[in-house]
Amino acid sequence: MSEQAWKAALYLENDHLFLGRGFGAQAMQGGEAVFNTGMMGYQEVFSDPSYSHQIVVMTYPQIGNYGIQAADSESPTPLLKGVVAREYFSRPSSWRSEMSLGRYLDAAGVPGISEVDTRRITQVLRDEGAQRGIIFPIDSEDETKIRLRGRELLKQVPVMEGLDLVSQVSCKKSWEFDEALNQKRNVQGTIVVYDYGVKWNILRSLSSRNFRVRVVPYNTPAQDILAERPLAVCLSNGPGDPAQVPHAVQEIQNLLGKVPVLAICMGHQLLARALGGETFKLKYGHHGVNHPVKELSSGRIMITSQNHGFAVKTDSLPAREVSVNLVNLNDQTCEGFLSENMRTMSIQFHPEAKPGPSDADFLFDQFIKGFVL
């Protein structure tokens, strides 16, 4: 059965309008428009909860060509607000494909738009910064009317800065990852993961190292975690403005020095704020799988997968407590820090992803050997 084609528009906050062909859900959705530079991995991108409330513009032109496979998802369902592609393939060519990208997005209520100039859209976002956008169906070619409708619809879309999305994407009750597998092997102990919008591959990475992995809601009291006597706590990735999750910061402060803490992406930003540091909004964020990061202690350079719109102010961190060890070579922003005394390690990017393909995977072992075992 062929997918239904429909006319669609993408309207951006700075009055940019793009007309194209819709795919996925024939719906109106708005969020922050950002661009992703990955050449592969669109399913992992679209199923990453950190993209909640965002419209993702893919710079690689061919999207949907290898379909969707359930095993490659990072969460139960995509939470992003829209997909923008130069070319969309409704008939995937892969022996692993279980469904088309369009049907996957349609089931989640997520619209896509194709046959638009993604290079131009990327230039707009790069030069003018990430901005609110909206995808919606159209039934005419009158650009003046479409533009006016876009302006009106955009009033319903909140800005990302000042938005708490963690509470919306976190699990509602605790659960155990891969419980059956853990029962069949020599498990070393438990690592508790705070779910701020966790990617499943973070859980797989911890579980594969012979740990029982338990996932808990973002607002779980630290005293409840400590009562379980876990070997370590992981602060996961997640969407939104880290400055708007003060309750999570308070619980992290109650954990510091009492249990080893590994912080990833949103977790890294929240850990920095728990230490008295500050975060700020990047102009267009880091979204892609080709970002170079340098480990200062060794001089090692990694090609990393990244997805974040906020960053930590390096000079706001307490120099006596932590040392910055990872730096982004594109813009020199803080990509990670360590504290030997508090047994903490933070990473801004995604060590569980495979862009290098495994340049950063060693960081899990570095944390475990240095602070856990």
Active site residues: 265, 350, 352
Distance CA 53, CA 34 (A): 11
CA dihedral 200, 203, 205, 206 (to 10 degrees): 180
Alpha-carbon distance values, 197 to 41, 112, 296 (Å): 18, 22, 29
Pairing relation of β-strands 111-114 and 175-177? unpaired
Which pair of structure tokens corresponds to residue 177? 């990852």
- Residues sharing a CB contact under 8 Å with residue 229, sequence separation 6 or more, in sequence order: none
Cβ atoms of 326 and 356 closer than 8 Å: no
Residue 225 one-letter amino acid: I
Distance CA 198, CA 158 (A): 23
Interior/surface letters 126-156, b for 16+ CB within 10 angstroms, e for the rest: eeeebbbbbbbebeeeeeeebeebbeebbee
Cis check: omega of the bond before 92, within 30 degrees of 0: no
Alpha-carbon distance values, 265 to 35, 138, 168, 241, 301 (Å): 18, 37, 17, 12, 18
Q: Is 151 helix (H, G, I), strand (E, B) or coil?
A: helix
The set of long-range contacts for 220-225, using a CB threshold of 8 Å and a minimum separation of 24, is 220/174, 220/194, 220/251, 221/251, 221/254, 222/251, 222/252, 222/254, 222/255, 223/254, 225/192, 225/255, 225/259
In terms of Cβ atoms closer than 10 Å to its own Cβ (0-12, 13-18, 19+), residue 176 is middle
